[in-house]
Structure 1
Amino acid sequence: MYWKERMLIFLEACSLDILEAVIDGPYVPTIASTGDSSIPKPRSDWVSNCKTAKEMWDTLQQTHEGTTDIKRAGINTLMHEYKLFNMKKDESVNDMQTRFTHIVNNLNALGKVIDNE
């Protein structure tokens, strides 16, 4: 997923120690009382309730990617659309291509790769 790759790159740029702590845990994030504005603060209630960076990462991952059942349901829905794909009446070729690309990209994001054949 796009958000995940960007976050991993950002964390790696900050420090490999931070990236390792987020992915492997345990790290208990604290906010210094010095008023340092460079220290990131949680932006959402569902993340601010987490006790470790690993817990925050897992929460973000599940929130944006969903559980296995949600992924499977999404793949099934998109595969149904893919198999029954055809041009709609009064639809331009450009709109049809955009709709098709959207289906294929979403399938790829869920881990289902569609061959070009």
Structure 2
Amino acid sequence: MCGFKGFEKIADATTSKDAWDILQKSYGGDSKVKKVKLQALKRQFELLEMKNDEAVADYFTRVETLTNQMKNCGSTLSEEEMVEKVLRTLTHKFDHIVVTIEQTRDLSEIKMEDLQSTLEAHELKHGERNHGKEDEQALFVKFKKYQDEKKKWQNKKGSKEEEKSEY
């Protein structure tokens, strides 16, 4: 048994060129298949947006995975196009940082890694602030429930005292 996984595909090839052509079509796809794949990937890229609950790192992974697949099919996306795409498709919580970046930086000079680290820093800061607000809201809800329970208890106590005074 041969250790090469694709041996069955090239077993009947008579020259190394034949074998190469078979492997290239099998694993790389011919140009027509690549064009069809590329069209599907471009469509995915156009529709790509960050999800509300998605972390910046996860979104960048999705963008980079898709752009790498597009590059493998012959597309040439520039770093600037990728940066612009990310800035256009972030969630609303990043709106003010996006405006700041667009107004103060030359998008053609921003690297994806730099953009990611800037957005992750913002995400951390935003998360800390929201975490405090969530704790504050939870305390408020507990306090409100406590007040409601206290009123119910006082009302019950008051109605029992009224009953006693009637006798």
The verdict on a shared fold, with TM-score over 0.5 as the criterion, is: yes
Aligned counterpart for 1:59 among listed residues 12, 22, 46: 22
Q: Tell me, what secondary structure is at the counterpart of 1:114?
A: coil
Residue identity over aligned pairs, in percent, reads 27
Moved over 3 A (4+): none
Task: Look up the match of 1:113.
Answer: 76
Deviating more after overlay: 97-106 vs 82-91: 82-91
May I ask how many residue pairs the two structures share in their alignment?
77
Structure 2 unaligned regions, length at least 5:
81-167
Q: How does 1:11-50 map to 2 (within 5 A)?
A: 43=4, 44-50=7-13
Give the counterpart letter for 2:75 in structure 1: K
Report the TM-score, using the length of structure 2 for normalisation. Answer: 0.43
Report the TM-score, using the length of structure 1 for normalisation. Answer: 0.60
What is the aligned-residue RMSD (CA, Å)?
A: 1.5
Give the counterpart letter for 2:27 in structure 1: H
Deviation, structure 1 residue 89: 3.1
| Larger Cα-atom Rg | 2
Aligned counterpart for 2:61 among listed residues 98, 105, 109: 98
Asked if the contact 1:78/1:103 (under 8 Å) is kept, the reply is yes
Q: Tell me, what secondary structure is at the counterpart of 2:54?
A: coil
